[in-house]
Amino acid sequence: MANTNLGVPHPALEAEEVYRRWIAFLDEEFTRHCSPVRRSEVVRDQLYQLYLGRPHGGKLNLTLTSELPGNVVSLSLDPENVTLEAGHFVDVDREKFTERKPLLWFWQMFDRSPVGLNHWLGLRFRCMLGRHIFAHMGAGVKIYHGVEVTYGYNLSIGDGVVIRQRALLDDRGGITLGNDAVIGSYARIFSHSHDAASYGKVKMTPTLVGAGARIASHAIVLGGQHVAEGEVVGAFPSDPR
């Protein structure tokens, strides 16, 4: 039976206890272990259970052609066997990115799993993981399904920020979201720019979204912009424009 004491959609009490225990376990593991190798092992073990419904273990049969697809899936659940686009950028801080890469992969794969659609769990999972990825994670933050970040270590999120589904936070040059800012679904916020004459030349241009500012759905904030406190970028459904 669902827990309705709070007047909002809520998991059953037994489920909530299990969810909280899982998040607390992961939080403790990622706090204790900053080693990319150990973090990759933790993420691999968790994704095996989420995707395959069984613990990691046993030897893969790499000789049978018929088992190649299954082997590809199994191997790809381990962050050690995965490359991310951000890892190819010349401006990446290799040490910071390597430490966070397993967690970035966990973030993406959680959201792509059936469990990632669990709204109550997902909001809490992403905030827990964000505390180990981002430069700063404020209190009372809500990050919805499918949000993408680039490096994570150049992203600072203030208290009470809401980031709606499928938003992109490309923090290569640094993004700061002030307290109570709202980022609409499918919004795009950048923090770098490309040279007009040579696309390969990239300039890092930190971006600031001020406290209480609202970035509407599908709006784009270019690198280097400073969105003022309380400013609205784009049009919301209630706007008369």
Per-residue model confidence as pLDDT tens for the chain (241 residues): 455 455 788 899 999 999 999 999 999 999 999 999 999 999 999 999 999 999 998 888 888 888 889 999 999 999 999 999 999 999 999 999 999 999 999 999 999 999 999 999 999 999 999 999 999 999 999 999 999 999 999 999 999 999 999 999 999 999 999 999 999 999 999 999 887 777 778 899 999 999 999 999 999 999 999 999 999 999 877 655 5
Q: Given this model, what pLDDT does residue 100 score?
A: 98
Q: What is the pLDDT of residue 117?
A: 94
Q: Please give the helix or strand (H or E) that residue 133 lies within, else none.
A: helix 119-133
Nearest to 152 by CA among 106, 117, 194: 106
Nearest-Å Rg of the Cα atoms of the chain is 19
**Structural domains in the chain plus CATH codes:** 10-133 (no CATH), 135-236 (2.160.10.10)
